Amino acid sequence: AYNTPYYSTMKRHEMSHRDEKPFKCQFCVYTAVQKHQVTLHELEVHASIKPHKCPDCDYETARKFDLKKHRQNVHGNYDDENDCDANGDKSD
């Protein structure tokens, strides 16, 4: 059974089981449980804004996590210490 001390986290979890996705993309039929998911979708799919760029190839993405997975899967990079975000700062 899922357990969390946070009310809002539990509500989102419950919504996912009821297939409740109140946040809608303004450009297509995409919906999500959280607003930030729609924002990322709109940036990546509709605005083609992809600030996270792979230093080893031409791969670009709107999501930092997707870049990390790409680097692990494609380039074998598991060194988080040297990962940088789009503006050159160390990642958190």
Indicate the pTM of the whole model: 0.55
CB-based contact 63:50 (threshold 8 Å): no
pLDDT digits (tens, 9 = 90+) for 54-73: 999 999 988 899 999 999 99
Amino acid letter, residue 62? A
pLDDT for the residue 56: 93
78 Cβ neighbours under 8 A, 6+ residues apart:
72
In this predicted structure, the answer to whether residue 80 has a pLDDT above a threshold of 60 is no
CB-based contact 53:59 (threshold 8 Å): yes
Name which of 2-6, 41-45, 74-78, 80-84 the model is least confident about: 80-84
Task: Please report which helix (H) or strand (E) contains residue 61, including its range.
Answer: strand 60-61
In this predicted structure, the answer to whether residue 88 has a pLDDT above a threshold of 70 is no
Tokens of 56: 């080893």
Tokens of 89: 């700062």
